[in-house]
Amino acid sequence: MKKQILAIKYTMAFLFSTFFVAQPVFSAVITFATPTPKVGTLYDFVVAVLSIVIKIGIPVVVLLLIWTGYLFVTAQGDPTQLKTAKKALLGSVIGATILLCAVLIATIIKATIGELGG
């Protein structure tokens, strides 16, 4: 029981520290100040959509990673439960990667279009 509590504590500490480290990266690209951003260009529209997706996606990814940690702790060596936990971890990591790459791709596209346009 103490190992489970310790594992949950370390998982929570890691996830919360990761969230606070990643937050400045997103705030440099997407502003959260205006509740209804004005859309003038395609890039502004993409940024507005990504802003909403990130606001919803980051807490969902954190909850999924916490749930995955719980699955690993409760598996206790059972191969079928470990397989389920590994699939959940893979899905959570893929989702987080897609969420992070969406901002990167939007920034790259903006820079490329800016260079082409002059």
pLDDT at 89: 92
Expressed in angstroms, the distance from the first to the final Cα of the chain is 62
The mean per-residue pLDDT over the stretch 54-66 comes to: 89
The mean per-residue pLDDT over the stretch 87-99 comes to: 91
The mean per-residue pLDDT over the stretch 47-75 comes to: 88
The mean per-residue pLDDT over the stretch 48-56 comes to: 83
Residue 47 has pLDDT above 80, yes or no: no
Q: How far apart are CA 74 and CA 86, in angstroms?
A: 13
pLDDT at 73: 92
Q: Which residue has the higher pLDDT, 64 or 46?
A: 64
The mean per-residue pLDDT over the stretch 90-112 comes to: 85
- Give this prediction's pTM: 0.58
Label residue 13 by pLDDT band (50, 70, 90). low
Q: How far apart are CA 75 and CA 85, in angstroms?
A: 8
Q: Which residue has the higher pLDDT, 54 or 94?
A: 94
Q: Which of 33, 70, 73, 71 is nearest to 51 (CA)?
A: 33
The mean per-residue pLDDT over the stretch 83-101 comes to: 91
